[in-house]
Every structure is written in C-alpha cells, then in structure tokens.
Amino acid sequence: MTSEQSVNGERADILDFLGKHRHFLRYTAQGLTDEQASTRSTVSALTVGGLIKHVSAVERKWAEFAQGAGGDEVPEEVEFTPELIAEWEDQFRLTESETLAGVLAEYEKVAAATDDLVRTLDLDQAYELPAAPWQPPGVFWTVRRVFLHIAAETAQHAGHADIIRESIDGQKSMG
C-alpha cells in the first residue's frame, strides 16, 4: 500500500486522531512570533515552540521504535551535570539557532513520515520496550499501541500549549 492510497477502518481512525491533535498543537502557534513562541507565560518552563519541538522529537523516536529500532539502553544511574541538564532543557525550548517556522516545518516532516508508517506497518507487530529504570524488562508494545501513544502525547501537549497560548494573548484552540 502506498501513502497515496486511501485507507479505511482502524488505520483511517488512527490517522484522523493523529491529524486532529496535531492540528490543535499547530493551531496554538498560529500567528506567534519567535519571541512569543519562546514565552514562558505560566509558572511552567514550557513554551509553545518548545512543546512543538518536543512533540516532534518524541514522535520521531517512537516512529523509529515502531520500525524495530529498540533505542539505546538508559543507564540506571546518571550524573546530572550542568551540561546534561542544559541539553535536557533545550529539548523543551527554542534555542538561539531555532525558529518557530523551522520547528513547525520539521514537525510536518515527522508527521508525514509517521502517517506513512500508519498506512504501511503491521499494527500487530510487537517490540520490547527499551530498558529504563522506570520500565520492567519484558514489556512489549504493538505498533498500534505506539501510534496510540504518539496521539496521546500529542493531545496532552496540545493542551499544555493551548494554556500557554491563552496566557500570551487570549487565543484558545477550543471554546
């Protein structure tokens, strides 16, 4: 099945659900300047631009997992150096070299690639989750569950972005 072919049933539902929540996330950025997209308008450190960047990276990582890439093992103990903390924080904000337009364009590429996977991968194929301190060994997720997880992450962060955007200028995604 090519990405141009129509899909129906479960795959169409997954694509629709992903598309709807991606729309809400992108909508929160509509008309924002780079400065506004980097604004911390709540007590949280989250920003609209940073959330879009984060969701894009998370979706890319889960899409790789859905193709059989188990990912790197997470060490049990990590030394939280200032550099590691800064690197972690940069996942949730626009850095000096990034723009809102740039992260939105990257998000579109990631979304298109994931949509192609929804159309073509075996939804029943399962892979073991990577080792992590919070994850017991031997837990498997189907590709279907991975796509549902991506949709849930997107929806959750679209809600975060909506609150941040409303605090900036009153715009809301819904209501």
Angle at 173 (CA atoms; ends 171, 175), nearest 5 degrees: 90
Query: pTM of this prediction?
Result: 0.88
- What is the assigned CATH class of domain 9-169? mainly alpha
Can you give the pLDDT at residue 62?
Answer: 96
Residue 79, pLDDT score? 79
Which of 119, 113, 104, 107 is CA-nearest to residue 14?
A: 119
pLDDT attached to residue 74: 52
pLDDT along the chain (175 residues), means of 10: 68 97 96 95 92 97 92 62 86 93 98 98 95 83 97 96 94 78
Residue 84: its pLDDT value, please?
87
CB within 8 Å of 126: residues ≥ 6 apart:
140, 141, 142, 143
Cα-flanking dihedrals φ and ψ of residue 142, to 5°? Answer: -75, 160
Q: Give me the pLDDT at residue 85, please.
A: 85
Q: Would you state the pLDDT for residue 158?
A: 96
Instruction: Supply the pLDDT for residue 61.
Output: 95
Distance (Å, rounded) from C-alpha 67 to C-alpha 95?
30
Sequence spans of domains, the chain: 9-169
